[in-house]
Amino acid sequence: WSIYIWSLPPNTMLNKSLRLPSLQALFVFEASARLLSFTKAAGELNVTPVAVSRMVGRLEDALNFKLFVREKTGLALTSQGAALLNAVTAGFGQIGLAIEELKHESTEGEVVTLSITSGFAALWLGPRSAHFKKQFPSVNLRGQSWPGILLGPLDGADLGVRLHGQGSAQDP
């Protein structure tokens, strides 16, 4: 059972000067944003709410924009916070899929290549992968995953997911 995820087109180099926040800061942000609570995030991460609040504050300072609106009734995500949460969730999902694939890499069985978006891989396929493996233990899934909306041909994949509206050129 294999799932390979490519998040960049072939022969594309990631900008080496790109500076990303620490993985720890992104974990703390993800938990806080998902739970909309520094206190609940602290409980999940086994740290203090003050530590979570400070980490999120340092992340906001490093990014030069606010991720949360702090209200008397709790936290709310800003538009930038919501966008970052989507990206972090998809990224962590891809990392999780890659780790699972490496743990369970197998050379036996049929290989089926999927052409899907990174969001579909992280949010839909990932949570269902264990059930699929139980149902089809000899099938190795390999995903060609791309950020954004996919249109057009499958580029060598066996199966693909394409989304389009009614009446579009792709509508049968």
- The number of helices, as runs of H, and strands, as runs of E, in the chain is 6, 5
CA distances from 15 to 8, 18, 19, 89, 163 (A): 12, 6, 9, 21, 30
CB 112 within 8 A of CB 139: yes
Across the chain, mean pLDDT equals 79
Model pTM? 0.53
The answer to whether residue 33 scores a pLDDT higher than 90 is yes
Per-residue pLDDT, averaged over 63-72, amounts to: 93
The amino acid at residue 164 is: H
Per-residue confidence band for 12, with pLDDT thresholds at 50, 70 and 90: very low
Per-residue pLDDT, averaged over 108-132, amounts to: 79
The H-assigned helical ranges of the chain are 23-35, 38-45, 49-63, 79-103, 118-120, 126-135
Structure tokens at 80: 């930038």
Q: What is the DSSP letter of 72?
A: T
